Structures are given as C-alpha cells and as structure tokens.
Structure 1
Amino acid sequence: MDVKTLEARVLDEGSPVIDLDQATFVWRGSKPVSVRGDFQDWQGAPLPLEQLAPRLWARSLPLPSDSYVEYALVDARGRRVKDPLNHCLSDNGMGKFNHFFRMPENRPAAVARRGRGAHPRGRVTRHKLETSEFAVGRTREVFLYQPAAPGPYPLLLVLDGPDYLRRASLAVVLDNLIRQKRIRPIAMALVANGGPARTVEYTCSEATLGLMRDKVLALAREKLPLVDERRKPGVHAVLGASYGGLMALYLGLRAPQVFGHVLSQSGAFAIPEHGDFVVFDLARAAPSRRLKVWMDCGRFEWLTGCNRRMFPVLKEAGHRVRYQEYSGGHNYPAWRDDVVQGLEWLFPP
C-alpha cells in the first residue's frame, strides 16, 4: 500500500496494520527499530523495519489468518521500545510485557471471560503443602478448585498451577465449561513450581512424581470429594506446558493407574543440546494401562518437531492420543485458548 494509505490506516487501526494474511508493523520516529516475536519463535536477529518516509518505518510479514502473535520492538542496541501504536500488552512471565495482536480469523476463548449474570462459581482455596524430601523448600503452594456442582470429581493436577490460574484464567474456563455442560465437573490441584529448581523438577524427576502422587493427591483427597482412583484406575488427569508438558506426560507414563489422562501443551520432549528425554523410551514400551493423551503445540515453535515425533510413538504403543497445532507461539494466552478443546476431549459430559 502507498505511504498515505498506510499512515491513515495506522492512525485509525493502530499497529500492526492487519490484512487477511499479512501484518504490517509501523513505527513513527527519527531512529530505526526492529521487531522480534512469536513468528520467529523469539530466535535469531530481530527484523529491521524499513524507512518509507521521514519518521515513518514499516515491515510487512505474511502470517496465517488465524494467528495470535506476541512481539516486541527493539532499538539498535537491542533494548525494548514501547510501541505507542499498540496498547495491547501481555505478561510474558519473565518480568516483561509483550505487545500482541490477533489476525482476522483468531478469536480469544469466550469461556475465559466471566459471563454476565450471577452464575455459580467454583471455590478456589490456597494451601501450604509440606514437601518433605520431595522438593526444594519445606513447603509448596497449592491451590484447590472445587466446582459449583456435586461430586465426586476426577482431579486435574496442574503443573505451574498459579500461572495457569492467573495468566490462563483456568478456574473461569472450568466454571464456564461445566456450567455449559461441555465437560463433566472436575476438580483441580494447581501446584506451584520450584522457582529456580523448576527445570530440575520438571525434566522427568522421580522426586516430583512422588510429590504429586503421594503428597498433592493426599491433600486433594483430604479437602475435595474425589473419585477414588483405586476403584477407577486412571481417572485423574495432569496438565502442563513446556517442561510442564513434558512432566505431565512423564507422570502419566509412570503412574497411569493414577493419572490416566494427560494434557500436554508445547511439551518439551527433547532439547537440542541433550536430545530426547526418557519419555520417548517410556512411550515406546508396552503400557500397563493405556493413557488418553491430548497434545498441542504452536506452529511458530521449534517444539513442533519433537511433538510431531511423539504423536506416532504414543499411537503405536496403543494409547488414545490426539495432537493438534495452532497458529501461535509459546505463551499462556495461546495455551489458554487451545486448552478448551483438550478439556472437552478428555472430560466429555
């Protein structure tokens, strides 16, 4: 488009200027900036905007029309620069905020918002769990969610639980899905990670298995009316993203009699420096109990490779598994919007 049209559109619509399959980032200033974001998985050099006129810079990128995208502008020294033409911000979980936008065919999950009216809500309570020798620190924060429907319930164990609760509005999502009868009533135990020890805890740790199976489940049984997994083996589920997605599958493969349902988002089943994690070996083995596994991953992520490899391994071993990719990156808004389909598949009403 010509410069006058671009200037008029950006003043009216903000940046980026979005067409069906193209986003044009616009910067008004005397010095150049570059853009980096989900579309390059935040890897490699930022993409410089080109000068079109005095104090006007732009760069167009082709993007799938159903994309959710987070990005940041950076100056010549690599320092983040606020985009004054885009006021949409998302907490990136690392102490900073990313700008974001949605392409024309992308819509946020409606169930992540409180509806109008006095609808019943589940109850969220906060607890301190003694970790004993299973984890760093003497205690670990756990949030328990009980739906506004009669039990007993299957339990959904959520790794990085406070992040899913705050940044993915997971309690709101469950309230709405249960009220709309799109899933059966389920309870949740949302467990905090170990902070600096998160990588150690979530990369196929037997100590973490003990913490979740023996300590967290005991707390949930004490406080919530749960279905007894000893009478209905495999009734409970586990959810996680990134290394949490890896650990979710590990927990299912190691304790299928407890966690027979797995929801793995952007599972980090392999990393370039070290190769495949042991979950590949566990997934190839003949299962003592078949799992029901939902996997998803953003098309912009390098993790699509190991997720695409894991999917047929689980299928060939006899597990019930679904895998889907969405046009997005490695962030909680994308996981929140896609987790709805996983919950509907794992817990039909």
Structure 2
Amino acid sequence: MRPGQPTGERLAAGTHAFGEGLLHVPSDLPTGPVPLVVLLHGAGSNPERVLTVVRDREALVYAPKSRARTWDAIHGNFGPDVEALDRALTELFEHFEIKTAAIAGFSDGASYALSVGLANGTLFDNVVAFSPGFVVPGARAGKPEVFVSHGRQDGVLPIEGTSRRIVPALRIVGYRVDYREFTGGHEVPASVSDAAFRRIL
C-alpha cells in the first residue's frame, strides 16, 4: 500500500483520537506533502506516553495502541494489531498527502517496528528501533533505511542477544543500518532520539 492523493480535508492541529490510537498534528506542519512517523509503544505502555518522543517535531505522528499488553506478533504471528494499523493508515491517507513514511518503536514496539517496517519497505522509507528484541521472520519488501540503538547495560533486553545479532544479520542481506550503542540501560536517551529523527525528518 502506498499513499495516494487525499480526498478529504486536513485534520486540524492538535492531538486527535484516531483509529485505535492517537494522531498528533503539529501546528507548524507545512502545507503540501508531509512526513509521517508511526510510533509504537513498548509493552505495558500507551500512545500518550510514547508521543512525547516526537511531539515537537515537524511531522505527522500516529501512535496506535496494541490490543493486548503488547503487540500481537511478539507472541507469534501478525493479527489484529497490524490489521488495525492498516485501516488507520488507509483513513489517514485520505486526509494528508504523505511525503515520506517512517515506523519507529521502543522495546517490544521496536521489535514490531522492525518486523512491520521490513515487510512493508515499499511504504516505509525508514525504520527506527530503540532497544529491539528480535525481528519476526517472513517476507521482506523494499529496502528501507534502518536505525537501531541499544544500551550496553540493558537489563530488560540484553544487547548481546538482541541488537548485536539483529544488526549484522540485517547488514548481511543488504540493509543500510545506522547502529548506535550507548552507555545506559533500557531507555531512549534524548541524544539518540534526536539523532534518529534528524536523520529521517
């Protein structure tokens, strides 16, 4: 699926309940085509909390809510979460002309962002994964740019069994990966967030 020409009116600036999540439209969003970031929360979190990561940037930000405590594919296969995301994006494309699209997430949301983003690389130009755990195996499409960060002292998803395996595997099959390790735990330092979103926006 690629966004086409919108047929509806633009939504006003502010944060709106949209689909099964929240859509943030910044007040300084430029006219014409705009960048879109789909932002996925971690396990047990919510759209309100994760929106704070990119709320002040010049991009349309959609933060969906997982049906259960975390995203469906974390426990096996894609299901209602990705179906709900597809419906929301279809509606979103009726209101905004999209210039570029990125999918990003933290922790379980990072694993889901990698999995969905790599499977839909003809839609998502960039995939951002803050402290991912794994990538769901399956078909890939396109070759989006990938950004991965991870704390060396992460006690929730230790780096040795996660990003230090994920990143080389992605590079072997031809993905360009900007990989940032940092001194810290299971978190997204402001400097890392800034580096990721400067790159894609």
TM-score normalized by the length of structure 2: 0.78
Greater relative contact order (Cα < 8 A, sep 6+): 2
Deviation at 1:243, TM superposition (A): 0.6
Matched, 1:151 2:32: yes
Structure 2 gaps, min length 5: 1-11, 42-46
SS at match of 2:94: helix
Alignment partner for residue 247 of structure 1, among 112, 115, 121?
112
Q: Distance in 2 between matches of 1:219 and 1:336?
A: 32
CA deviation profile, 1:25-60 (whole Å, cap 9, x unmatched): xxxxxxxxxxxxxxxxxxxxxxxxxxxxxxxxxxxx
Counterpart amino acid of residue 268 in structure 1: G
Matched, 1:291 2:124: no
Number of corresponding residues: 180
- Counterpart position of 1:266: 131
Q: Distance in 2 between matches of 1:203 and 1:296?
A: 23
Q: Distance in 1 between matches of 2:13 and 2:66?
A: 22
Counterpart amino acid of residue 59 in structure 2: I
CA deviation profile, 1:186-224 (whole Å, cap 9, x unmatched): 32112223343x143555642233222x21212322333
Structure 1 gaps, min length 5: 1-121, 130-139, 175-184, 228-234, 270-276
Deviation at 1:341, TM superposition (A): 0.3
Relative distance call for 1:291 and 1:157 in structure 2 (3 A) is same
Considering only aligned residues, what root-mean-square deviation do their CA atoms show, in Å? 2.4
Q: Is the 8 A contact 1:143 1:162 kept in 2?
A: no
- Structure with bigger gyration radius: 1
Relative distance call for 1:171 and 1:303 in structure 2 (3 A) is same
Q: Distance in 2 between matches of 1:288 and 1:201?
A: 18
Q: Percent identity?
A: 22
- Counterpart position of 2:51: 165
Q: Is the 8 A contact 2:149 2:180 kept in 1?
A: yes
Matched, 1:220 2:101: no
Q: Is the 8 A contact 1:155 1:186 kept in 2?
A: yes
Matched, 1:278 2:136: yes
Q: Distance in 2 between matches of 1:343 and 1:226?
A: 17
Q: Distance in 2 between matches of 1:254 and 1:314?
A: 13
